[in-house]
């Protein structure tokens, strides 16, 4: 096969791949819309409201937050500029979910932050993983707060301080803005 024939075949193959990618994207969009329609239709079902709260001191800078609900990524942001660390509350998910058992997984990456005598903290990197199982009840709203915080006190080694905990509250009804 000569070079020109090879180039033409390669271009044709690339066009077919692009068409298949577009079909997959459209199918995914239709499936997402159908799923949302089914889950939000009618009074049946459950609701979940999930938010991430950064309660860490200035010694730690949030550089990445990854939050996964039942295997589906709900929030994934990596930021080295400091904008992510400045957000105290991040809304992660608010919507309908099927009644039953669910799992929320969290991965938080942190970087030490300090200046002057404490500039050595910049060399520290932390990774905190945690998960929480909860049950969504038919006709009720489950509000989950994911808190990144520091456990222990001044005598606790810096490496052991970052942690994640979950606060769960179940409210009657399917109101979108459950406090």
Give the pTM. 0.67
d(CA 157, CA 151) in angstroms, rounded, equals 10
pLDDT for the residue numbered 158:
75
pLDDT cut 90: percent of the chain above it? 45
Spans in the chain with pLDDT lower than 50? 42-43, 117, 178-179
Nearest residue to 92 (alpha-carbon basis) of 63, 141, 50, 54: 50
Tokens encoding 139: 């006709």
pLDDT for the residue numbered 42:
47
Residue 152: other Cβ atoms inside 10 A: 11
Alpha helices in 2-121 (DSSP H): 3-40, 83-86
pLDDT for the residue numbered 102:
94
pLDDT for the residue numbered 131:
95
d(CA 145, CA 148) in angstroms, rounded, equals 10
State how beta strands 46-54 and 140-150 pair. parallel
pLDDT for the residue numbered 114:
59
pLDDT tens for each residue of 77-122 = 998 777 787 788 999 999 989 889 999 999 999 888 655 545 556 5
pLDDT for the residue numbered 173:
77
pLDDT for the residue numbered 177:
53
């Amino acid at each position: 096969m000569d070079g020109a024939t090879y180039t033409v075949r390669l271009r044709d193959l690339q066009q077919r791949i692009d068409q298949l990618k577009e079909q997959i994207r459209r199918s995914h969009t239709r499936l997402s819309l159908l799923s949302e329609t089914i889950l939000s239709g009618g009074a049946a079902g459950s609701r979940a409201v999930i938010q991430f709260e950064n309660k860490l001191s200035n010694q730690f800078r949030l550089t990445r937050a990854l939050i996964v609900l039942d295997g589906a990524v709900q929030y994934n942001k990596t930021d080295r500029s400091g904008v992510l660390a400045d957000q105290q509350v991040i809304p992660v998910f608010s919507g309908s979910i099927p009644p039953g058992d669910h799992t929320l997984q969290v991965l938080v990456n942190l970087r030490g932050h300090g200046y002057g005598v404490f500039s050595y903290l910049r060399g520290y990197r932390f990774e905190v993983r945690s998960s929480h199982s909860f049950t969504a009840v038919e006709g009720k709203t489950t509000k989950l707060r994911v808190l990144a915080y520091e456990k222990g006190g001044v005598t606790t080694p810096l490496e052991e301080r970052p942690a994640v905990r979950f606060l769960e509250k179940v409210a009657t009804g399917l109101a979108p803005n459950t406090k």
